[in-house]
Amino acid sequence: MVNVQRKKTKSPNKKWADKVYQKLLQQHGQLHWWPADSRFEVMVGAILTQNTAWSNVEKAIENLKFADMLSADAIVNVSNVHLAKLLKPSGYFNIKTRRLKNFCKWYLQNGGYSCLRYWSTTKLRKELLGVNGVGHETADDILLYAFKRPVFVIDAYTRRIFSRLGCITGEELYDELRVEFESQLHKSNKLYGEYHALVVQHGKDVCKTKPKCNDCSLSSMCEFD
DNA sequence: ACCCAGGGTCATA
DNA sequence: TATGACCATGGG
């Protein structure tokens, strides 16, 4: 008998994800994400919020609502210049015009939510990533908050906060981090949804500055070795 | 005036 | 695989 798989994964209990969640929840409370009136609005918001402050996205979404354009049919049929005007406050309006149309075409071609809801999470993610303008985070936002799939969303705040805590390096590939969080937490779209909301809220409120997190309530948890 | 925000694509090496 | 340029508004 040669070396039996000595693969015990050094630290079986790297359970920092749950501890940090409890801390964040205690500090910020339930946030009830994603803020939107419909699933489709979630999807639109996920695309418009790319590298953009949410306050600016809200203005663009209000424009779409006021113009009665918050539907896939309306978006694919309107001219690019007109759509770009509505999206203007969210920034990158020319690019986002194309991205939003790309997404809506895909959405309609596949029968909309009533058909897509039956797809597996794996297939949905693969197809979403095939839409030009939809990357990992946008796809997972849509999977989690619009399709209610248990998918943990990774964003810049996640990397910043958890690398400061010493839990991760911050250089990991997107899916590596997603799988790491998902492996530590029970598979629940409610949990993942609240968690991501808390991460963003904490990032905006507390861990704003780059260099260090001095006055951070999580700093007491920096002893994970 | 400067920095950043709830990213992603494309060209290049 | 990995780096850099580019996209553009509004608030601090």
Q: CA nearest A60: which of A33, A73, A41?
A: A41
| pLDDT over 70, % of chain A | 87
**pLDDT at A151 > cutoff 70:** yes
Average pLDDT estimate for A164-185 = 96
pLDDT of residue A207: 78
| pLDDT class of A13 with cuts at 50, 70, 90 | low
Decide which of A191 and A218 is more confident. Answer: A191
Q: HSE of A75 in the Cβ direction (CA atoms, 13 Å)?
A: 27
Nearest residue to C7 via alpha carbon and C1':
A92
Nearest residue to B9 via alpha carbon and C1':
A133
In this structure, what is the dihedral angle of CA atoms A196, A178, A22, A11, given to the nearest 10 degrees? -170
Alpha carbon distances (Å) from A148 to A36, A39, A77, A164, A177 = 14, 10, 28, 30, 20
pLDDT of residue A220: 55
**pLDDT at A215 > cutoff 70:** no
Give the Cα separation of A169 and A159 in Å (integer).
8
Average pLDDT estimate for A206-222 = 61
Task: Return mean pLDDT, chain A.
Answer: 91
Average pLDDT estimate for A163-178 = 96
**pLDDT at A214 > cutoff 80:** no
The bases of strand C with some atom under 7 A from any protein CB are: 2, 7-11
pLDDT of residue A130: 98
The bases of strand B with some atom under 7 A from any protein CB are: 4-10
Give the Cα separation of A172 and A65 in Å (integer).
38
pLDDT of residue A213: 54
**pLDDT at A58 > cutoff 50:** yes
Name the closest nucleotide to A51, judged by C1' and CA. B7
**pLDDT at A156 > cutoff 60:** yes
Rg (CA), chain A: 19
pLDDT digits (tens, 9 = 90+) for A185-201: 999 999 999 999 999 99
